[in-house]
C-alpha cells in the first residue's frame, strides 16, 4: 500500500486499532478539537460501523476558578457562553446546570421563531436573533433544522386588525419583513383553516414569511458542542445554592459540587431567576408561572406554516414527524411545576377547533409544562445587577426560544464590555424609571 493510499484509508476508516475498539469514545476523548460533522464524516463512520464519533461535549469536574461562570445551561446561557468565546475571546468559562442541559424551557417550547414585535428595541434584538438562526447550522456545524416556513398571526377581531396593521407599519420602519394579508391569502397558505368561523371569522393576518421553527434540543446541543470545543466546561447536575460576595462584588458561587470562584457571573435561569436573585440579596420584577403545550398523534403533512390565533389563544404548527404541535396558555397562578394539567388540553383544543375543525378528530398524545419568567411589560431583562460583576438575563416569558442567539450575543457583550447596544433598553431598572417596553400584545398572550 502506498503512503498516499495508507493516509486516505486511515482518513476514511481509521486505523486497525480504531476499528477494533469496543468503546470508540475512549480514544477520541483526548482529542483537543472536535471533528467537523459533514456528509463525508457520515460516509466515513458508516464504513467503520459508527465507532469513531466523539462525544458532543465533555463532562469535566469543575475547576477552582473561572473568568466567567454562567448559571443555567438552557439556550440563553449556552449562547451567552458561546458568544463570550467567539466574539470576545473569553474561553475560561463554566456553564453550571442543576439538571441536564436543555432540560428547562429550551427543551419544552413549541419552537416558534419570529421578530414581528412592535417596539424598536424588541424588533432589534428579535430580528438579530432571527437572522442568526438563518446561518446557525453552518456557524455551529450542527443541524438545528431551522425552517423559515412562515409565521402568521390571525386577526379575528377589528381590534386585532388595527393592532397588526400598526405592527406591519412599525416593522417596515424597523427593516423587519412582515405584511398584513387578506383572509383569502390566509386560506391559500393554510387550506385546512376555516375562515368563516361563527364567533371569530378570520379577518386577515400579520404574516412574516421568514419566521418559522427550529429543533429546540439541537439549538442547545449545537451551542453546547461549540462551547465544549472552545475548551469551556459544561457541568451538569451542579446546582448553584449560593452567590458569594466580597463586599458588593461577586467572587464566586456555592454549588452542590463545591465552591467555585469567578470574576464575572451571568445568571440565565429563566423561571428560577427570582431564586438566584434572592441568593444575591436583591429582588427582580419577575413572576414565575407554568406554560403548557401538547402534541397530537402524527398525521400526514397538512400545514406547512405556523399559525397563531391570539384571540382564542392557541397556536399550531406541524412537526417533521407529523404531530400537530399546539401551544396553550400560562397557568393563572404563580407556580414552579414543570407539568401539564388536564383542563388546559380542553381549553386549548376548544379554542382552536372553530378555526381548525379537523383537529376535533385528532388524538392528543403528550402534554407538558415549563416554568416561564414573566415581567410586567412582557419584555426581557438583560442587565447589570446591584451586585458588581453579576449580570442577569431573564424575563423572556412565553417567547424566548426565538431570541436565543440574539440574547446570547447581547448578554456576552454586556458581560465582556459592560454595555451592549442590543441590551441597553432592557435594564432591570426600567421598571422603577417607568421606561417600559410594552409588548403585552406581541408577547404576553402568544409566543
Ligand X SMILES: Cc1cc2nc3c(=O)[nH]c(=O)nc-3n(C[C@H](O)[C@H](O)[C@H](O)COP(=O)(O)OP(=O)(O)OC[C@H]3O[C@@H](n4cnc5c(N)ncnc54)[C@H](O)[C@@H]3O)c2cc1C
Shortest CB 130 distance to ligand X, Å: 10
Under the criterion CB under 6 A, does residue 212 sit at the interface with ligand X?
no
Nearer to ligand X, 75 or 204 (CB): 75
Nearer to ligand X, 121 or 327 (CB): 327
Nearer to ligand X, 400 or 444 (CB): 400
Under the criterion CB under 6 A, does residue 106 sit at the interface with ligand X?
yes
Q: Choose, by CB under 6 A, the member of 21, 53, 99, 203 that binds ligand X.
A: 99
Nearer to ligand X, 106 or 310 (CB): 106
Cα separation, 116 vs 127, in Å, equals 8
Nearest to 299 by CA among 210, 364, 211: 364
Separation in Å, CA 303 to CA 60, 306, 307, 319: 44, 8, 9, 10
Shortest CB 113 distance to ligand X, Å: 7
Shortest CB 399 distance to ligand X, Å: 4
DSSP sequence for 138-156: HHHTS----B---EEEEE-
Under the criterion CB under 6 A, does residue 151 sit at the interface with ligand X?
no
Q: Choose, by CB under 6 A, the member of 13, 81, 84, 108 that binds ligand X.
A: 108
CB 396 within 8 A of CB 403: yes
Q: Choose, by CB under 6 A, the member of 124, 153, 291, 387 that binds ligand X.
A: 291
Shortest CB 420 distance to ligand X, Å: 17
Under the criterion CB under 6 A, does residue 344 sit at the interface with ligand X?
no
Cα separation, 252 vs 445, in Å, equals 37
Under the criterion CB under 6 A, does residue 264 sit at the interface with ligand X?
no
Q: Which residue has the cell 447589570?
A: 384
- Classify burial at 23, counting beta carbons within 10 Å of its beta carbon; exposed 0-12, middle 13-18, buried 19 or more: exposed
CB 355 within 8 A of CB 315: no
Cα separation, 55 vs 379, in Å, equals 37
Q: Choose, by CB under 6 A, the member of 68, 84, 112, 152 that binds ligand X.
A: 112
Cα separation, 58 vs 64, in Å, equals 17
Choose the binding region for ligand X from 37-45, 103-111, 226-234, 356-364 (rule: CB under 6 A). Answer: 103-111
Q: Choose, by CB under 6 A, the member of 57, 68, 70, 110 that binds ligand X.
A: 110
Shortest CB 170 distance to ligand X, Å: 19
Shortest CB 245 distance to ligand X, Å: 17
Under the criterion CB under 6 A, does residue 98 sit at the interface with ligand X?
yes
Nearer to ligand X, 317 or 427 (CB): 317
Nearer to ligand X, 51 or 130 (CB): 130
Choose the binding region for ligand X from 155-163, 169-177, 194-202, 265-273 (rule: CB under 6 A). Answer: 265-273
Q: Choose, by CB under 6 A, the member of 52, 85, 104, 252 that binds ligand X.
A: 104
Helix (H) or strand (E) holding 410: helix 404-417
Nearer to ligand X, 51 or 146 (CB): 146
**Contacts of 19 by beta carbon, 8 Å cutoff, 6+ apart:** 13, 48, 49, 51
Choose the binding region for ligand X from 1-9, 48-56, 190-198, 291-299 (rule: CB under 6 A). Answer: 291-299
Binding mask 292-331 for ligand X (x = CB under 6 A): xx---------------------------------x----
Q: Which residue has the cell 398525521?
A: 299
CB 94 within 8 A of CB 260: yes
Per DSSP bridges, beta strands 258-267 and 65-71 are parallel
Shortest CB 235 distance to ligand X, Å: 9
Under the criterion CB under 6 A, does residue 381 sit at the interface with ligand X?
no
Q: How many residues does the chain have?
A: 447
**Contacts of 278 by beta carbon, 8 Å cutoff, 6+ apart:** none
CB 243 within 8 A of CB 265: yes
Q: Choose, by CB under 6 A, the member of 14, 85, 103, 163 that binds ligand X.
A: 103
Binding mask 45-84 for ligand X (x = CB under 6 A): --------------------------xxxxxxx-------
Cα separation, 150 vs 422, in Å, equals 25
Nearer to ligand X, 99 or 285 (CB): 99
CB-side neighbour CA atoms (13 Å) of 16:
1
Cα separation, 168 vs 290, in Å, equals 31
Binding mask 387-416 for ligand X (x = CB under 6 A): ---------x-xxxxx--------------
Cα separation, 431 vs 289, in Å, equals 20
Per the structure block, which three cell numbers stand in for 252?
Answer: 464566586
Q: Which residue has the cell 387578506?
A: 182
Nearest to 90 by CA among 427, 415, 406: 415
Under the criterion CB under 6 A, does residue 378 sit at the interface with ligand X?
no
Residues that bind ligand X (CB under 6 A): 71-77, 96-99, 103-106, 108-112, 239-240, 268-270, 272, 276, 291-293, 327, 370, 372, 396, 398-402, 447
Amino acid at each position: 500500500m502506498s503512503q498516499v493510499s495508507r493516509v486516505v484509508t486511515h482518513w476514511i476508516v481509521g486505523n486497525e486499532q480504531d476499528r477494533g475498539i469496543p468503546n470508540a469514545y475512549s480514544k477520541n476523548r483526548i482529542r483537543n478539537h472536535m471533528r467537523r460533522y459533514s456528509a463525508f464524516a457520515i460516509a466515513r463512520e458508516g464504513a467503520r460501523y459508527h465507532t469513531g464519533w466523539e462525544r458532543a461535549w465533555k463532562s469535566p469536574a469543575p475547576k477552582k476558578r473561572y473568568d466567567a461562570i454562567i448559571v443555567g445551561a438552557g439556550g440563553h446561557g449556552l449562547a451567552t457562553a458561546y458568544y463570550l468565546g467567539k466574539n470576545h475571546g473569553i474561553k475560561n468559562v463554566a456553564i453550571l446546570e442543576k439538571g441536564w442541559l436543555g432540560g428547562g424551557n429550551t427543551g419544552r417550547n413549541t419552537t416558534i421563531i419570529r421578530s414581528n414585535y412592535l417596539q424598536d428595541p424588541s424588533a432589534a434584538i428579535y430580528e438579530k436573533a432571527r437572522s442568526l438562526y438563518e446561518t446557525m447550522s453552518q456557524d455551529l456545524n450542527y443541524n438545528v433544522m431551522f425552517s423559515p416556513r412562515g409565521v402568521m398571526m390571525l386577526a379575528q377581531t377589528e381590534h386585532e386588525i388595527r393592532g397588526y396593521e400598526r405592527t406591519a407599519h412599525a416593522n417596515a420602519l424597523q427593516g423587519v419583513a412582515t405584511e398584513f394579508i387578506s383572509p383569502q391569502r390566509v386560506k391559500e397558505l393554510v387550506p385546512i383553516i376555516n375562515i368563516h368561523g361563527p364567533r371569530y371569522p378570520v379577518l386577515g393576518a400579520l404574516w412574516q414569511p421568514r419566521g418559522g421553527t427550529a429543533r429546540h434540543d439541537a439549538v442547545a446541543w449545537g451551542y453546547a458542542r461549540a462551547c465544549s470545543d472552545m475548551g469551556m466546561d459544561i457541568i451538569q447536575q451542579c446546582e448553584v445554592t449560593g452567590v458569594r460576595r466580597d463586599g458588593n462584588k461577586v467572587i464566586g458561587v456555592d454549588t452542590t459540587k463545591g465552591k467555585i470562584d469567578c470574576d464575572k457571573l451571568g445568571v440565565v435561569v429563566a423561571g428560577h431567576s427570582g431564586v438566584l436573585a434572592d441568593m444575591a440579596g436583591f429582588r427582580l420584577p419577575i413572576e414565575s408561572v407554568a406554560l403548557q403545550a401538547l402534541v397530537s398523534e402524527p398525521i400526514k403533512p397538512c400545514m406547512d406554516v405556523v399559525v397563531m390565533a391570539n384571540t382564542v389563544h392557541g397556536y399550531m404548527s406541524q412537526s417533521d414527524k407529523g404531530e400537530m404541535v399546539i401551544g396553550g396558555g400560562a397557568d393563572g397562578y404563580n407556580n414552579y411545576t414543570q407539568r401539564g394539567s388536564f383542563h388546559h388540553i380542553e381549553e386549548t383544543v376548544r379554542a382552536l377547533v372553530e378555526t381548525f375543525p379537523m383537529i376535533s378528530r385528532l388524538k392528543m398524545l403528550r402534554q407538558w409544562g415549563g416554568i416561564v419568567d414573566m415581567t410586567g411589560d412582557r419584555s426581557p431583562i438583560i442587565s447589570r445587577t446591584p451586585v458588581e460583576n453579576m449580570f442577569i438575563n431573564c424575563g423572556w416569558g412565553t417567547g424566548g426560544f426565538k431570541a436565543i442567539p440574539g440574547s446570547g450575543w447581547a448578554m456576552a457583550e454586556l458581560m465582556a464590555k459592560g454595555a451592549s447596544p442590543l441590551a441597553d433598553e432592557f435594564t432591570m431598572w426600567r421598571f422603577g424609571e417607568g421606561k417600559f417596553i410594552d409588548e403585552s400584545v406581541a408577547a404576553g398572550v402568544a409566543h
